[in-house]
Amino acid sequence: MHRFYVTMDQIKEDRITITGVDVNHIKNVLRMKQGEELIICNGQGKDCYCIIESVSETEIGTKILSEDSTGTELKAKLILYQGLPKMDKMELIIQKAVELGVHEIVPVMTKRVIVKLEDKKKEQRKLERWQLIAESAAKQSGRGIIPVVKPVCNYSQAISEAKELAIGIIPYEQAKGIEDTKQIIHNIAQYTSVGIFIGPEGGFEQSEVEYAKEQGIRPITLGRRILRTETAGLAVLSMIMLELEE
Task: Give the three-state DSSP class for 226.
Answer: coil
Residues 6+ apart with CB under 8 A from 20: none
Neighbour order of strands in the sheet with 3-5:
3-5, 37-41, 46-55, 60-69, 15-18, 11-12
Cα 5 to the center of its chain, rounded Å:
15
| pLDDT for the residue 123 | 85
- CA angle 192/161/166 to nearest 5° reads 20
Please list the pLDDT of the chain residue by residue as tens digits (246 residues): 898 999 999 999 999 999 999 999 999 999 999 999 999 999 888 999 999 999 999 999 999 999 998 888 999 999 999 999 988 899 999 999 999 999 999 999 999 888 877 678 888 999 999 999 999 999 889 999 999 999 999 999 999 999 999 999 999 887 778 898 999 999 999 999 999 999 999 889 999 999 999 999 999 999 888 899 999 999 999 999 999 987
H-state helical runs in 4-119: 21-24, 89-99
Q: What's the 3-state SS for 28-44?
A: HHCCCCCCCEEEEECCC
* DSSP symbols for 160-196: HHHTTSSEEEEE-TT---HHHHHHHHHTGGG-SEEEE
Beta strands in the chain (DSSP E): 3-5, 11-12, 15-18, 37-41, 46-55, 60-69, 77-83, 104-109, 148-149, 153-154, 167-171, 193-198, 218-220
- CA torsion 64-67-73-77 (nearest 10°) is 80
CA–CA separation, 190 and 240 (whole Å): 12
CA–CA separation, 193 and 164 (whole Å): 9
Which residue intervals of the chain bear CATH 2.40.240.20? 3-69
| pLDDT for the residue 115 | 80
Whole-model pTM: value is 0.88
Which residue intervals of the chain bear CATH 3.40.1280.10? 77-244
Query: Superfamily for 77-244?
Result: SPOUT methyltransferase, trefoil knot domain (3.40.1280.10)
The answer as to CATH 3.40.50.720 being correct for domain 3-69 is: no
CA–CA separation, 214 and 218 (whole Å): 9
